[in-house]
Amino acid sequence: MKRNNKLVIILVSLMLVTLITAVYAQSSANVSYKAGLKFFSHKKYREAIPHFDSAIETNGSFVKAYVFRGLSYYMLEDHNKAINDLNKALQLDPENVTALYGRGMAYLFTGKSQKAITDFSMVLKKQPENSKSYVNRAICYYRLNKMKKAVSDASKSISFNVKNPSPYFLRAACYWRQGLHKAAVLDLKRAVDLYPNGPNLQIMYYISKAHIGDTSTDQLKAFYEKNKKKADVWPYPAIAMMLGKIEPVDCIKAAKKFKPLKLRGTIEQQANFYVGEFFFIHKNQEKADKYRKLAMDGENKLFIIQSLVKLEYYDFKK
């Protein structure tokens, strides 16, 4: 009997030690996680990662640590590592909306549009009024040349957030690609009114109006004069070209100097597109077709809406 009592005491003691160790480990993991989260909230993503590393080393099933380490990698544009971490988070918690949304964004930026669509669709099943998921799924449809679906999603995004200029810009780009310039002008007007400081919005609004016969440069000129100090910053050289301040060749040269280098190809596509539209407005159809083709044949199918596809546009909620 005494032997059995001793065995029970030993087993209980071991259980207590195990429990205390687990509680301490979880507490330690939480401390590391919260430290990482503090850096993340201040956009110090590189500094946040070691703290999430510590949390995961202490607790290998810490879902939120995987999520926010993945989002940190995403914000640092290390999309493969982001996807790996978000995959792990979703293995542990398949219902985690933040992980689904983040992985969808990583897929979008790596050109895996169909996978991104799947993730955004899953988010929308759980959050049917998530306006950002609609606009991001619309970007994927745009890339896949599924304009009707892109327009539908952009419209749904607008219905849940009428003050966001991005879905108006995206829907206008969809209308543009379908030759529906009057509809594009209406949406670009809304986008410009909501975000008057956007240079790509301003130049696209001017070009779209030109397609329906309005070649007035008054608004574009006022915008350019207000931002003279940015004359060398893209896309201001394209605006200067539209206003007759520089030649098309100078617009192309400005694009060829764009940094960072990884975006230069996209900016060159934009430059060719804007030059093509310049020649269209000036009744030179041969050159208009030449430069439009150079733009459309480029690698990035999102070049017209590149200003939408910026890391700063997406914020992740805790």
Predicted confidence (pLDDT) at residue 11 exceeds the cutoff of 60 = no
Q: What is the CA radius of gyration of the chain?
A: 25
Predicted confidence (pLDDT) at residue 105 exceeds the cutoff of 50 = yes
**How far is CA 244 from each of CA 112, 224, 281, rounded to the nearest angstrom?**
40, 12, 12
Tens of pLDDT along 305-317?
A: 888 776 434 555 4
Bigger pLDDT: 39 vs 28: 39
Predicted confidence (pLDDT) at residue 16 exceeds the cutoff of 80 = no
Lowest mean pLDDT among 106-120, 141-155, 197-211, 301-315: 301-315
Lowest mean pLDDT among 2-11, 47-56, 61-70, 282-291: 2-11
pLDDT at 262: 87
Residues whose CB is less than 8 angstroms from the CB of residue 157 and which lie 6 or more positions away in sequence, other chains included: 131, 132, 134, 135, 138, 164, 166, 167
Do the beta carbons of residue 120 and residue 135 sit within 8 Å?
no
215 token code pair: 């070649």
User: Average model confidence (pLDDT) for the chain?
Assistant: 90
Residues 103 and 20: their CA atoms lie apart, in Å, by: 35
CA 16 centroid distance within chain? 48
Residues 294 and 230: their CA atoms lie apart, in Å, by: 26
Predicted confidence (pLDDT) at residue 20 exceeds the cutoff of 90 = no
Peptide bond just before 196 cis, omega within 30 deg = no
**Which residue in 139, 190, 131, 134 sits closest to 161, CA to CA?**
131
Residues 205 and 262: their CA atoms lie apart, in Å, by: 27
Residues 130 and 55: their CA atoms lie apart, in Å, by: 30
Confidence of residue 6 (pLDDT cuts 50, 70, 90): low
Model pTM? 0.87
106 token code pair: 């990583």
Fold for the domain defined by 1-94: 1.25.40
Residues 71 and 84: their CA atoms lie apart, in Å, by: 11
Mean pLDDT along residues 200-205 = 95
pLDDT at 313: 44
Predicted confidence (pLDDT) at residue 141 exceeds the cutoff of 60 = yes
Predicted confidence (pLDDT) at residue 7 exceeds the cutoff of 70 = no
Kindly write down the DSSP assignment for every residue of the chain, as one continuous string: -HHHHHHHHHHHHHHHHHHHHHHHHHHHHHHHHHHHHHHHHTT-HHHHHHHHHHHHHH-TT-HHHHHHHHHHHHHTT-HHHHHHHHHHHHHH-TT-HHHHHHHHHHHHHTT-HHHHHHHHHHHHHH-TT-HHHHHHHHHHHHHTT-HHHHHHHHHHHHHH-TT-HHHHHHHHHHHHHTT-HHHHHHHHHHHHHH-TT-HHHHHHHHHHHHHTT----HHHHHHHHHTGGGTTSTTHHHHHHHTTSS-HHHHHHHHHT-SSGGGHHHHHHHHHHHHHHHHHHTT-HHHHHHHHHHHHTSS-TTGGGTTTS-GGG-----
Confidence of residue 5 (pLDDT cuts 50, 70, 90): low
Do the beta carbons of residue 25 and residue 58 sit within 8 Å?
yes
Q: Where are the domains of the chain?
A: 1-94, 196-318
Tens of pLDDT along 209-242?
A: 999 999 999 999 999 999 999 999 999 999 999 9
Tens of pLDDT along 36-87?
A: 999 999 999 999 999 999 999 999 999 999 999 999 999 998 999 999 999 9
